[in-house]
Structure 1
Amino acid sequence: MKGFDCGDHTLNQWLQQRALANQRSGATRTVVVCDADHAVKAYVALASGAVAVAASPGSFRRNMPDPIPVVVLARLAVCRSVQGQGIARALLADAFERVLLTSQQIGVRGIVVHAAAAAARTFYLHMGFDSSPSDPSLLLLRLSDVAAALEASAK
Structure 2
Amino acid sequence: MGISAPCPIDYTHNATSFDCGNTTLNDWLQRRAIKNESSGASRTFVVCYDNCIIGYYSLAVGAVTRDDTPGKVRRNMPDPVPVMVLGRLAVDANWQGKQIGDGLLKDAILRTITVAEQAGIRALLVHALSDKARSFYQHCGFHESPTNDMTLMITLNEARRAISG
* TM-score normalized by the length of structure 2: 0.90
Equivalent of 2:64 in 35, 48, 51: 51
Aligned residue identity for 2:24: T
Aligned residue identity for 1:28: S
Q: Does 1:12 align with 2:26?
A: yes
Runs of at least 5 residues in structure 1 that lack an aligned partner in the other structure: none
1:97 is matched with 110
1:69-84 to 2 correspondence within 5 Å? Answer: 69-84=82-97
The superposition leaves residues 44-80 of structure 1 with CA deviations (integer Å, 9 ceiling, x where unpaired) of 1001001110001111101111110000000000000
Q: What is the aligned-residue identity percentage?
A: 47
Distance in 1 between residues matched to 2:110 and 2:72, nearest whole Å: 21
- The aligned length equals 151
Distance in 1 between residues matched to 2:58 and 2:109, nearest whole Å: 12
The superposition leaves residues 84-116 of structure 1 with CA deviations (integer Å, 9 ceiling, x where unpaired) of 000000000000100110000000001000012
**CA RMSD after TM alignment:** 0.6
1:140-151 to 2 correspondence within 5 Å? Answer: 140-151=153-164
Shift of 1:32: 0.4
The superposition leaves residues 9-51 of structure 1 with CA deviations (integer Å, 9 ceiling, x where unpaired) of 000000000000000111111110100x211100010010011
Extract structure 1 runs of 4+ deviating beyond 3 A.
Answer: none
1:28 is matched with 42
Distance in 1 between residues matched to 2:107 and 2:151, nearest whole Å: 21
